[in-house]
Amino acid sequence: MKVLKGFLRFILVVVAIVLIFAIVIICTYVLGSPNTDTGTESRNIVSGPWTEVVGDDPKAELYSFDFNQSGEFKIAKGDKQIADGWFKIDEKSRKIKLLMLPSHYTEEFAPYVNYKVLSEVSFSNLKFQIKEAEFGKDPEIIKDKEPTVSFLIREAGDKEGSGETLVMNCKMYEYTLDLYSSEHDLTRNA
């Protein structure tokens, strides 16, 4: 009887731990999800398809990042999607926090995910082509030149300097700036 009681207690403790872990994951994902109604200004900046630029090898499996106005992202390597979910931008630290459900990333991407829910992408060198300012005017973004950015994804545990860091230099080839948000399409309004 005593053994049975001990066994049941052990089972209950395990179930409680699993339950707490599941609740933490669900709360992190649900409460951390971005507002999907309207895009924020920083979302406007990163929104669109960013494609890695590496040499001329046509067979190279390039990374591509797609962030949209509703706060959703997709990461692909070559034709294969390796992660998708929601994102939030921390402009001060230039970091993009990625929120994913465990089934929404592949094993290949798993090393870059902390706590099986969160990952972070740092972005640096976000550059828009700027037209030289005329006298007395502010410089202007050249509307149809692609911006460039470097994305860095750190392997979980990299705080100790042990993990790998992926660095991807990307361009947004489909970029044209227009006042109708991120849908760069002349048929957007008619």
Partner 1 sequence: MELILKNLRAFDPQTGLDGVTDIAVDGGRIAQIGGEMPPADRVIDCTGLTAFPGLFDMHVHWRDPGFTEKEDIFTGAAAAKAGGVTGVLLMPNTKPPVDSAETVKYITERGAQTGINVYTSACITKGMKSEELCDYDELKAAGVFCITDDGRPVENAELMRQALELSVENGMCVSSHCEDLKIINGGIINKGRVSEALGVKGMDRASEDYITAREIALAASCGAHIHICHVSTRGSVNIIRAAKAYGANVTCETAPHYFTYTEDKLMSRDADYRMSPPLRTEDDRQAIEEALLDGTIDAVITDHAPHTAEQKADFLKAPNGVVGLETSLAATLTHFYHGGKCGLDRIVRLMAVNPRKILGLPPVKIAVGESAELCIFDPNERWTVVPEKLHSKSKNTVFKGETFTGRVKYTVCGGKIVFEDM
**Which token pair is 62?**
């390039």
Q: Given the rule CB under 8 A, which of 115-123, 125-133, 145-153, 181-189 is the region that contacts partner 1?
A: 181-189
d(CA 52, CA 124) in angstroms, rounded, equals 14
Site for partner 1 in 26-85 (CB under 8 A): 36-38, 69-70
Q: Does 186 bind partner 1 (CB under 8 A)?
A: yes
Q: Does 180 bind partner 1 (CB under 8 A)?
A: yes
CB atoms within 10 A of CB 99: 21
Residue 181 interacting with partner 1 (CB under 8 A): yes
Residue 131 binds to partner 1 (criterion: CB under 8 A): no
Indicate the helix (H) or strand (E) that contains 124.
strand 118-127
Looking at residue 79, its amino acid is D
Shortest Cβ 72–partner 1 spacing (Å): 11
Nearer to partner 1, 158 or 178 (CB): 178
In the bound complex, what is the minimum distance in angstroms from residue 83's beta carbon to partner 1?
22
Q: Under rule CB under 8 A, how many of the chain's residues touch partner 1?
A: 16
Residues sharing a CB contact under 8 Å with residue 62, sequence separation 6 or more, in sequence order: 51, 52, 53, 54, 77, 78
Give the 3-state secondary structure of residue 49: strand
Q: Which of 118, 108, 111, 99 is nearest to 164 (CA)?
A: 111
The answer to whether residue 190 forms part of the interface with partner 1 (CB under 8 A) is: yes
Q: Which residues bind partner 1 (CB under 8 A)?
A: 36-38, 69-70, 143, 179-181, 183, 185-190
